[in-house]
A and B are shown apart, each in its own frame.
Chain A
Amino acid sequence: GEDVEQSLFLSVREGDSSVINCTYTDSSSTYLYWYKQEPGAGLQLLTYIFSNMDMKQDQRLTVLLNKKDKHLSLRIADTQTGDSAIYFCAESLIMDSNYQLIWGAGTKLIIKP
């Protein structure tokens, strides 16, 4: 079956880079997404990558996709206190002729001063 796994916590110092990792099991993924969830707020799409790409950069965010290892990562450069949140990885799959999102459990990013 399909499954998406992430580490539950990541702690980094302010100003350092954060790297959040995600592994998935279904090689038929079309798009892979990173969502951010701040306390009391809804899930917000941060960035996404299409499955035929291996890298995407958007300002401080870099997404790397290794299809062979089914590994996705999100790098946040110059991590700031405002980056404190839970980050969810999700893959888009075709299930029963419909596109569904399969979600990881989320990685809580903790920023140390």
Chain B
Amino acid sequence: ETGVTQSPTHLIKTRGQQVTLRCSSQSGHNTVSWYQQALGQGPQFIFQYYREEENGRGNFPPRFSGLQFPNYSSELNVNALELDDSALYLCASSLVGGRNEQFFGPGTRLTVL
């Protein structure tokens, strides 16, 4: 059984650019959630994908968007990057109907200059 994986590990972008982060869910999991963790803060829920559809969104603007693929992997896209987007982006996978326990990937550290 493979765990949650994310790529890339680190990324440096400049303001205004666009970025795509990727996540492969744990084997058997059908739900992917994305969180943003700013330095020194707790993670904040961005959105969740289930059956390739967005299934809830936190307080993030539309320039944060995502996709889920038939194999349950997912992408997080951020357009028009701002300095405040610098953070650790965490992907978590889970199984609807299970214990609702989320398993987190290693994260992608995004730095916006």
Bound pair: A and B? no
Binding site for A on B (CB under 8 A): none
